Amino acid sequence: MAITLADVEEALAIEPEEIPGSYTDRDSLLYNVAIGMGKDPLDARELEYVCETIGNRVVPTAATVLTRPEHRASNPPTLMSKMNFVMMLHGEQRLQVHQPLPPAAETLISNAITGVYDKGEGKGALLTNETQVKLKDGSPLYTVGSTLFFRGDGGFGGSSEGAPVAHTLPDREPDAVCELAQRDDQAMVYALCGDRNPLHRDPGIAAKAGFDKPILHGLCSYGIACHAVLKTMLDYDQTKMTGFDVRFSSPVFPGETHIVEMWKDDNVVSFRTRIKERDVISINNGKCTLA
């Protein structure tokens, strides 16, 4: 079932519904461990993220797994049900942090499709969405956004203008490099944060998708990059981070070593992730905004 311009216009006109949500310190602690924090049980700075008797810090990119509404919106956009998810790729992820994430919280969540861009027949379509999360008292907590590339949905008659533009990395050698080795069972742990897609754990399903073995969740790689920036550029002080945007470039396998290259210019840390074992860029055009 092909989407039409009318489907797109209808989805963009929907007023987002605010839904109650919540998360616990178990959720935030599990996320911090799932992206590789605490592998050295005597590292005092990382213990602040994984041991509640020492600290209560939360990695900002945990926002991607802590956004859990109590129920679905009553009027979900019909557009999404008509798009070809088999041909979908997660292209970009964005984050704005309005205040440091508490270890546990009751929240208010609203989600909206913010744009659909037609790349042309046979070239696919880009869909951008945004989720705003507030604390129960109404104060903004964070905003997460993504760009999804639907390879089979181009040619519906829409415009290609206005799609997000990737951040440009500096044209010089990195100011800092952080190498983070990962665990072979990392996808098993990260799946417990909420993403149960069997592509990341079931070898048979991974093979059907064209992979020799299950691949790591893209949002886990996103969190690993955030870990590297926190460790290398911010001395583990997550309160200095106000934004974290990336473009996904290549699949990653569990157990591979992430080399995060970073450049600092004023209040922006630009970065990319290179996979050591295969010398491929997995995350590109990274932009971390500082307070």
Catalytic residue numbers, as ranges: 195, 200
Q: Distance (Å, rounded) from C-alpha 192 to C-alpha 25? A: 14
Q: Which of 203, 123, 182 is nearest to 158 (CA)?
A: 123
Q: Which residues contact 171 (CB under 8 A, 6 or more apart)?
A: none
Q: Which of 276, 204, 253, 245 is nearest to 61 (CA)?
A: 245
| Strand intervals (E) in 136-220 | 140-150, 176-180
State the residue for tokens 């995350």.
283
Q: Distance (Å, rounded) from C-alpha 273 to C-alpha 262? A: 9
Structure tokens at 219: 């949002």
Q: Find the farthest-apart pair of alpha carbons in the chain and give their distance in angstroms, rounded.
A: 58
Task: State how far the alpha carbon of 45 is from the alpha carbons of 142, 192, 234, 265, in Å.
Answer: 24, 24, 11, 25
Residue 64: φ, ψ to 5°: -70, -20
